[in-house]
Structure 1
Amino acid sequence: MFNFTSLLGAQSNSTASQSILELDGGVKILVDCGWDETFDAERLSELEKHIPTLSIILLTHATTAHLGAFAHCCKHFPLFTRIPVYATNPVIALGKTLLQDIYASTPLARATIPQAALSESPYAVSSTGDSTNTKILLQPPTVDEITGYFSLVHPLKYSQPHEPTPSPFSPPLNGLTIAAYSAGHSLGGTIWHIQHGLESIVYAVDWNQAREHVLSGAAWLGPAGAGGAEVIDSLRRPTALVCSSRGAERIILPGGIKKRDEVLLGHIKETVKNGGTVLIPSDSTARILELSFLLESSWPEIRDASEGQKLKVWLASRSCGATMRQARSMLEWMEEGIVRDFEAFSSHPSNTTKQKGHQRTSSKQDSAAAENVQSAPFDFKRLKIVESASRFGRALSQEGPKVILASDVSLEWGFSHAAVRQLAADPKNLIILTEYTSLSKDDEPTLQQYLWSLYEKQAGTADDNATVVISGNGASAKCTSISTEPLSQAETPLYQSYLARQRQMQNTLQTGQASNLETSADIIDDRSSASSSTSEDSDDEQQGKILNVSAVMSQSRHKLGLSDAELGINILLRRKGMHDWEVRGKKGREKMFPFTGKRKKNDEFGDLIRPEEYLRAEERDDVDGEDMRNGAESTKKDNAVGEKRKWGDMAVQSTNGVQARRMSNGVNKRRRTAEDGGSVSAEGDEDSELSSEDEGEPQMQEPEGPRKLVVKEESLQLNLRIAFVDFSGLHDKRSLQMLIPLIRPRKLILVGGDEAETQALATDCRKLLAVGGVDAADSQNEEKGADVFTPVTGETVDASVDTNAWIVKLSDPLVRILKWQNVRGLGVVALTGLLELPTASSESTEADAQETPKAKKLKAIKGEQQDMPQIDVPVDGQQVSGPPILDILPSNMAAATRTATAPLHVGDLRLADLRKLMQAAGYTAEFRGEGTLLVGGIVAVRKSGTGRIEVEGAMLGSDTMGNGGPGGSSGVTKTFYEVKKKIYEGLAVVAGS
């Protein structure tokens, strides 16, 4: 069984990607946890419903569209951190820097509390009057928390089959195997192959077959440099292929990657020659690697085009320093040319200190090859890295031509948003859009979408429109300004009520074991009893289970947001002055005075042992509320009894590692030097105008207590020029139409594109995957074309394999006579047996046979055998539930069926492999036509679309010699049987049992 549900991204203008794969036995896999530039928390409501049933999570790309909501889910959704997550090493490392950049760049990433959650509070109307316009922000994850979330992700290598570990609340995975393959598009981008029983699923969203400067192409035809002509075995002929349709109508420039680079550099050189500024918006971890590498390697061309002007090239992102540092440590995941550049840099004699000084004084007639080896890959000497808003503002105000590569591509946040606001008024400036954008019909268009619509109207749809540069002509665009402010006095109770409800939910769901979940009333009882307890057990259990702000709220604040109905019988303990409770019509514990007893957790061996209680102080991350990771002395801060604390201190002190981060920030400020990659210009002069910054993690603002979002719309007059060069790194129409027929999926599911792209690709695939070339006389074996599904967001499609399969039990006498054969790691046997319904006698016999003597002895000691008569046991011969049993045939029936059993040939023989076998045997073998192999010039081997192999040999005269064969009719016969012999050797011959 295989059911597919797209939670986000199917036939939608949103780039976010979330998919649920449901397999047999209740196994659920979440592939990607993406978000879009709106950061709307309500779009994650469907995902939140599936979390308690998820088995594993797979991540494909380190982009906002594929893991933008990962930290949000870990922070605010109970049980999410208990689900095993799998990704490649680059996705883990770059995903961490991506989310750190997002949360440090825009308050939108914190997400606002959904209005539905606020309206449930009794304070929604009484305190605020109208809560529909209230945009209260959630608490964002800190840098340490984001690092901790990604440390939980299990790293995988390419082509490494792995059997994942299920979540604590998941059913058994029953042999589920996952394997990652290169997808291109981003560093560490993944095509997932999922094998579960008869289901072979390939999940390929946002892949790129073309090889670029940094990234190798997708691994459909083998690893980079393999040069294969066929899809590799593990990805060929899957039962279901999930493929993205984004870019299905896009046609690449003639000339490929080289022409694309020439167009981009042409736009840049023309603008800097006129003294203008070029803005190139991009993401902060994926495509920015390709663009930054190109700008660094093309520096001589750009410098010469400036004609002596002081040219600056900036790389602006909150986490670009950490991103480039991570990229330098993962060169083995990149294209082979990058590895060669690194080897050339390591072996170049100019890397010695003495010769480096000599090289600085050399003339400008140095060769381009010498310039290319002056630095290691992604150790930029030309690009100046900017990570702070103040420094970026000073960079924009400098005179002279500039090239700015900034995040984010949406232009809604980040340094690209600030840059376009300042550059829009000057017609000498140019903004180069690097990705296609789908225009939304319902929502207000973003600034990027508005610029794309202007470009599309003026540039048209000609094939050569990549070289077109248009003018804004003073068009007016809406630009949003995002800021935050503290909550008003009337909004604070609304926020506190929401926190109380979230605390209740998380305390309920995040208990130690899924089987020990407590009811809401029990949790209230536990709180009231724990208020007077000083046990460290209860303190340890609360770590990480509640929101950071609510962890330090006082006992009185726990009562906010709980109505009398929600308190129930506990109102006698929690409400002062309450001495009476109406018990008429009540049931169970609601009719008895509340009593709280401390629950002890134990098992058959006694009380549970907590390993964290036996750790030494230096081994623990947190001891008595103090962070010990950088030494106990770094966290000593005396708080006198009754001392007033600010909201920020209250929110921060509940987070592990905050004190250490504060101290490290102070140390970093003193250690800031001119080690930045862009601190020295190409001419060698010091960049003294701007203060350099370290390449450490982005300095995210610490939680400041509850705040709300303030959005202001402004009008932006566009006089700058607009160009487009496709650097999205996605598949185009040609690659989709070429590879999908080679993959030959039985089911095809299209997601990840708008409605027009999805329907157009579905129409093409139905034609391409239609089976042809089958003889009309053999119509009974004709295979129908693949099923193509185009689900919308929220729709579930059944893409199960079309195979008649049943689950049966084999009896012990039958198992002993079977002779298994291995075919590609699978055991295959043909058998004939008698199918019987399970009975009580057969079940008891099988149970006794499987029970070990030790188990029987323990069973007798515990007295379970004496308790057995109390259980309703069916008598012998009575039918019981369970799968049917396949047993050996009686002797009279076995004699009748033995002669009717014919041997079976199992396997899939490739004509390319047969060609190699025949050539090794001394025969000439060559392909003639489609699906025909000619051996020795006299024997033809054909393979139909259904897998049927036909061998034909022509009868020749005795004086005729076959090329490569003995000749004559005897030569034909010998060659014919030699070919059949090789075919049988490539298949498993399974005889009937």
Structure 2
Amino acid sequence: MFNFTALLGAQSESPASQSLLELDGGVKILVDVGWDISFNPEKLQALEKHVSTLSIVLLTHPTLDHLGAYAHCCKHIPLFSKVPVYATTPVINLGRSLLNDLYASSPLAASIIPSSALAESATESVASFLLSPPTYDEIASFFALINPLKYSQPHQPIPSPFSPSLAGLTITAYGAGHTLGGTIWHIQHGLESIVYAADWNQGRENLLSGAAWLSSTTGGAEIIEPLRRPTALVCSSKGVEKDTSLSRKKRDDTLISLIRETITQGGKVLIPTDSSARVLELAFILNQTWHENLDGPHADTYKNTMIYMASKSSSASVRYLQSMVEWVDDAVRGEAEAAMTKGKGQGRSVGMLDFTHVKQIERGSQLKRALSKSNPCVMLASDASLEWGFSRQVLQALATDPKNLVILTEKTSNIETASDTVGKSLWDAFRGQEGQISSQSGAKVVNVEGMKIDFRTASSEILDSDENALFQGYMARQRQMYSTVQDDSLVDATQTADLADDQASDSSDSEDEDDDAEHQGRALNLSAQLTQSNKRKVGLTDAELGINVLLRGKNVHDYDVRNKRGREKMFPFMAHRNRTDDFGDLIKPEDYLRAEERDDIDGVDMKARPKEVAAVGQKRRWDETAAASKNARILKVPNKRSKNGESSAPDDIDALIARATGQGENGDDGPNGVDGESENGDSDESDYEPEETAPDGPRKIVFTSESLMLNLKIAHVDFSGLHEMRDLQMLIPLIRPRKLILIAGEQSETQKLANECRQLLGDEGEGGATDVFSPLIGEVVDASVDTNAWTLKLSRELVKKLTWQNVKGLGIVALTGSLNVEAIESEKIKEGESAKKKLKLIKSEEPIEGKGVGMVKAAGDVVVMPVLDLLAAQDSTSTAQQHVTQPVHVGDLRLAALRQLVQSAGHTAEFRGEGTLLIDGAVVVRKSGSGRIEVEAGAGGLRLPQYRTKDNEGSFYAVRKLIYEGLAVVAGV
């Protein structure tokens, strides 16, 4: 069984992608946790309904469309963080960099709470409250949970705690192009072979390799065997309606020509793109161009132009790229490894992945200073939608100069928002106006002088008292709902301590029968379900807290227990449970640091938290001493910038933080910064800014409408890195899927590709035409393989004669027998009848519902099971000969391994062409694309030596023997 459901990204303008795959045995696989720039939590409701039944989650690309909602789901959807997640290492690292930039740049990314969920009496005038966004540390912890995989590495995943067994499930990642570490997933489960390919690119790029569809052993003429002839192919239809298709070299030349033409005139160039995926390809091209042209005819132009990579995680993205050399294209990897090898003995060598000409910008002050310079520059800024990140700020700064140019690298869709996005407005302006053809690049350039665009700017503010009460009520209801979903083992660490006292008291109450009646229906009581710390937050009184006021209340030292019953009469006790794992009690590594590993300031350990001094009358812990107050006074270090705006002299803490953020001793940002001395010789002062602290308390979103007059030029060069219609027309007939499911595209794109595929696959395949599905969001598609499975038993005599052979960890045997029927008693045997009584076979049979395929029910409640037994002895010899299974060879033989075996045996062996091995100049071994081995003997290949021994045979016979030894010969019984 295989059912497919598109939760997001099916015949929709939203590029977000979420797909649910349901397999036999209740196995559910979620592929991608995408989101779009609307950050609407209502789009995640369909996903939330399936979280408690998910087995695993697979991620394909480190983009907003494929994992934008991952951190949100881990933080705000119960049980989601308990589901095992699998992705490649670049997807993990670059995805983390993307979400760090997203939540640091856009307050809207925290997502707005629907007004209908705030209160029953909520009206349209209710403010737009924001959920608490995940912090930097939380994002790091969420991505640390993802299990990394390598390409072509079959893996048997571990199921979630609430998932059925995944026995027989194998997942394998293959290269998809488009992004670094982008993945085509192959999912094998029983008879189902599913290939999930979303947003792949067949063409090889400068930094990235193409999708791994074609086999190198056949010269790219056939699909690799694991991806060939799947039972279902899930493919994206995005990008099939491209107007023009440029080769990689023509595309790169067009981009460079547009940039050179603009900077020669003294203008600035803005290229809006993402934070950590496609921006690496653009930065790589620009860095190489600047490196190659510093001594050319345009050397002065390139020397006076700076390249900036502007996002709040740009340094991390570049650092991750340099640490993942094995994932880039072979040519780039070879050059990078050569540079590293050369740099070991002769100092650091500059390689292709060292972006020496690309400066990273991560702060607003750096961006303003870079844009204020009169020199031309090229700005790679996030995001491509111009709705968040630095790209909109750059556009506002460049809008008034007609010499400036905006280069759009991909089509921008219109998401369901109150107004068109800035990126969509620029795209419509480029598509809807007649432009001039550039004389140098040959590309269309549109002048939008006098064009006015309207957009919204989102900012966050603190809630007032009334709004805070409404917000806390919503959070209380959410906690009450989640507490019924999570059991004790699945509650997160922040709630475990608060729930411990309730759990301890519940166990004591269970021993008192009188108290059981009193606490009936306690799960429906809000005050009993809320954790004690959260009760105080929502403003519950001391009476509602009950006996726990001694722990939660301030300056409360007595409680009246007269006329109380059960837990209200006993002093509250919080049981502290020791956390253990398979190796014993958990330890904290920071407790065992050496003295030189600790961060000391004036002799005080920074790892030690300063303790507050208890005031007179307040409770105090037993281990608190007066030394805590002394430590607290020592640790009070003045901030670099005081409240009145006056800056104080840098202290040791500032120096440590500056070094940690990559700044030099003089306040510069190092080789990749923009504040130090540039190549032109100008030097800027340090703009060190401490990290902005997260606002305390809940926030609300406030939108302000703005307008911008444009007086610049717009061009488009396709750098989306997606497959085209001709790629699909070439590959889909070679893949030959039994079922084809199209996702991730607009309605027109999906319908166009579906019609084309029906024509291509109409007469293809075994058993008729291939079924092509184009589902809508939420539509369930039954794409199960058309097979029949039967259950039977093996007789004892037959089992004794089986000879199993081990082939790559699997036991294989071929057998021949006669199928008989054996009757066994059902559960409805009448009383008094013996369960061991032999029952005669009754010919009148009917299928049994719910008893499994291959079992039938006869009269008298008798279950009949087919049995495979040895052939009857009275069968004639001729009849027996017809049923004997001929020996077959099972396994796969690699020519490289055969070459080593032949050479070790004293023969000569060399490769002659693709898939051809020549041995002793007389025997040729060929391996076809289907895996068939062919051995041909030339002149002298069959000649036997004069004195033939056990180990002395001719070349042909020796090669045939080695091939047989590498395969399992399965003979019939």
* Fold conserved between structures, TM > 0.5: yes
The residue aligned with 1:311 is 305
Report the equivalent of 2:317: 323
CA distance in 2, matches of 1:732, 1:786: 21
- 1:634 Cα deviation from its structure 2 partner: 3.0
1:238 has 2:201 as partner: no
**2:286 matches 1:295:** yes
Selected match of 2:426 from 423, 447, 451: 451
What is the CA deviation profile of residues 510-536 of structure 1, one whole-angstrom value per residue up to 9, with x for unaligned ones? Answer: 4344799xxxxx979927959999xxx
Distance of 1:186 and 1:873 partners within structure 2:
68
| 1:829 shift after superposition | 3.3
- The question of whether the paired residues in 1 share the 8 Å contact of 2:675 and 2:683 is answered with no
Which residue in 2 is equivalent to 1:936?
A: none
Say if 1:269 and 1:305, in contact at 8 Å, map to a contact too.
Answer: no
The answer (yes or no) to whether the contact 2:52–2:162 under 8 Å persists in 1 is yes
Q: Distance in 2 between matches of 1:572 and 1:488?
A: 29
* Partner residue of 1:253 out of 231, 245, 249: 245
Q: Distance in 2 between matches of 1:515 and 1:111?
A: 23
**Residue 792 of structure 1: which of 772, 776, 787 is its match?**
776
Alignment of 1:754-769 (within 5 A): 754-769=746-761
SS at the partner of 2:308? Answer: strand
Closer/same/farther in 2, CA of residues 460 and 743 from structure 1, 3 Å limit:
farther
Give 1:744 deviation, angstroms: 1.1
Q: Does 1:783 align with 2:763?
A: no
Q: Which amino acid aligns with 2:40?
A: D
Cα distance change of structure 1 residues 466 and 801 upon mapping to structure 2, 3 Å threshold: farther
- Partner residue, 2:745: 753
Counterpart in 2 of 1:668? Answer: 657
CA distance in 2, matches of 1:251, 1:113: 40
Sort the Cα spacing of 1:719 and 1:169 in 2 relative to 1 into closer, same or farther, 3 A. Answer: same
> SS at 1:211's partner residue?
coil
Of 412-421 and 461-470, deviating more is 461-470
Provide the C-alpha distance between the structure 2 equivalents of 1:17 and 1:87, rounded to a whole number of angstroms. Answer: 15
Q: Does 1:901 align with 2:883?
A: yes
1:176–1:194 Cα contact (<8 Å) kept: yes
What do the CA deviations read for 1:536-573 (whole angstroms, capped 9, x no partner)? Answer: xxxxxxxxxxxxxx9894643367699xxxx9xx9999
Output the CA distance in 2 between the equivalents of 1:227 and 1:273.
Answer: 44
Tell me how far 1:692 sits from its aligned partner. Answer: 6.7
- 1:801 aligned partner: 785
Offset at 1:815? 3.1
1:108, CA displacement in angstroms?
1.2
Tell me if structure 2 keeps the 8 A contact 1:187–1:286.
Answer: yes
- Any idea what the Cα deviations from partners look like across 1:663-720, whole Å, max 9, x if unmatched? 98883136632314144999834452263779xxx94642421010011121222221
Question: 1:269 touches 1:306 (CA, 8 Å); kept in 2?
Answer: no
1:26 aligns with 2:26: yes
Aligned pairs for 1:113-132 within 5 A: 113-120=113-120, 124-125=121-122, 130=123
Matched residues in 2 for 1:873 and 1:510: separation? Answer: 48
Deviations 1:907-934 (A, max 9, x none): 9999x99xx99xx9xxxxx99xxxxxxx
Q: Deviations over 1:755-786 (max 9, x none)?
A: 111111111111112336x9xxxxxxx63121
1:135 is displaced (CA, Å) by 1.1
Judged with a 3 Å threshold, the aligned counterparts in structure 2 of structure 1 residues 751 and 50 are, in CA distance, closer, same or farther, namely same
How many angstroms apart in 1 are the aligned matches of 2:541 and 2:724?
Answer: 53
* Structure 2 match to 1:213: 206
Cα pair 1:759 1:790 within 8 Å, conserved: yes
CA distance 1:783–1:988, change in 2 (3 Å): farther
Query: 2:725 aligns to what?
Result: 733
Amino acid at match of 1:556: R
Matches within 5 A, 1:78-97: 78-97=78-97
* Partner of residue 145, structure 2: 152
| Structure 1: segments with no counterpart, 5+ residues | 357-373, 517-521, 534-549, 577-591, 644-658, 775-781, 845-869, 921-925, 928-942, 952-961, 967-980
Q: Which moved more, 1:876-885 or 1:406-415?
A: 876-885
C-alpha deviation, 1:726, in angstroms: 0.6
Which residue identity is paired with 1:169? F
Partner of residue 284, structure 1: 275
CA distance in 2, matches of 1:447, 1:411: 6
Maintained 8 Å contact 1:385/1:676: no
CA distance in 1, matches of 2:866, 2:438: 64
User: Does 1:475 pair with 2:475?
Assistant: no
Match of 1:38 in 2: 38
Aligned counterparts of 2:363 and 2:395: Cα–Cα separation in 1: 17
Seen in structure 2, the aligned counterparts of structure 1 residues 757 and 508 have a Cα distance that, compared at 3 Å, is: same
How far residue 343 of structure 1 moved from its aligned partner, in angstroms, is 3.8
Q: 1:198 maps to which residue?
A: 191
Corresponding residue number in structure 2 for 1:386: 361
Query: Which residue is 2:221 aligned to?
Result: 229
Give TM-score, length-normalised by structure 2.
Answer: 0.73
Q: Does residue 637 of structure 1 match 2:574? A: no
Would the alpha carbon gap of residues 480 and 886 (structure 1) be closer, same or farther in structure 2, given more than 3 Å must change? same
Amino acid at match of 1:274: Q
Distance 1:162 1:903 in 2: 34
CA distance in 2, matches of 1:398, 1:530: 68
Q: For the structure 1 residues 682 and 595, does the alpha-carbon distance in structure 2 shift closer, same or farther, using more than 3 Å as the test?
A: closer
Identify the residue that residue 937 of structure 1 maps to in structure 2: none
1:557 to 537, 540, 543: 537
Q: CA deviation at 1:18?
A: 0.6
Matches of residues 687-698 of structure 1 in structure 2 within 5 Å? Answer: 687-689=682-684, 691=686
Q: Counterpart amino acid of 1:722?
A: I
* Residue 802 (structure 1) shift: 1.2
Structure 2: 5+ residue stretches without partners:
493-497, 510-529, 551-563, 617-635, 640-651, 840-847, 856-864, 903-911, 914-927, 943-960
2:180 aligns with one of 178, 183, 187: 187
1:177 corresponds to 2:177: no
Tell me how far apart the structure 1 counterparts of residues 338 and 32 of structure 2 sit (CA, whole Å).
38
For residue 25 of structure 2, give the secondary structure of its aligned residue in structure 1. coil
Contact 2:273–2:381 at 8 Å: present in 1 too?
yes
Distance (whole Å) between structure 1 residues aligned to residue 695 and residue 836 of structure 2: 68
Q: Deviations over 1:565-587 (max 9, x none)?
A: xx9xx9999999xxxxxxxxxxx
Equivalent residue for 1:677, pick from 672, 684, 690: 672
Matches within 5 A, 1:479-628: 479-513=455-489, 526=502, 529=505, 553=533, 555-557=535-537, 610-611=580-581, 614-616=585-587, 618=589
Measured in 2, the distance between the counterparts of 1:458 and 1:310 equals 33
Contact 1:252 1:732 (8 Å CA) reproduced: no
Q: Residues of 2 paired with 1:803 and 1:905: CA distance?
A: 26
Equivalent residue pairs, number: 814
Counterpart secondary structure, 2:128: coil
Task: Within 5 Å, give how 1:257-276 maps onto structure 2.
Answer: 257-276=248-267
Cα pair distance change 1:308/1:4, threshold 3 Å: closer
Matched, 1:49 2:61: no
Partner-residue secondary structure (3-state), 1:299: helix
Does the aligned pair in 1 maintain the 2:501–2:572 contact within 8 Å? no
CA distance in 2, matches of 1:52, 1:65: 23
Instruction: Call closer, same or farther: CA 1:211–1:839 in 2, change over 3 Å.
Output: same
Aligned partners of 2:469 and 2:538 also within 8 Å:
no
Change (3 A) 1:708 1:552: farther
- SS in structure 2 opposite 1:712? strand
What's the secondary structure of 1:638's corresponding residue?
Answer: coil
Q: Distance in 2 between matches of 1:664 and 1:131?
A: 48
Partner residue, 1:519: none
d(CA) in 2 for partners of 1:809 and 1:557? 64
Q: Provide Cα deviations, 1:167-187, integer angstroms capped at 9, x if missing partner.
A: 010001121001111111111
Once the two structures are TM-superposed, the CA of residue 81 in structure 1 deviates from its matched residue by 1.1
1:600 and 1:486, CA in 2 relative to 1: closer, same or farther beyond 3 A?
closer
The correspondence of residues 291-440 of structure 1 with structure 2, limited to 5 A, is 291-299=282-290, 304=298, 307=301, 310-346=304-340, 352=346, 375-439=350-414
Q: 2:801 aligns with which of 795, 813, 817?
A: 817
Q: 1:89 to 1:984 in 2, by over 3 A?
A: closer
CA distance in 2, matches of 1:277, 1:382: 16
C-alpha distance in 2, partners of 1:8/1:203? Answer: 15
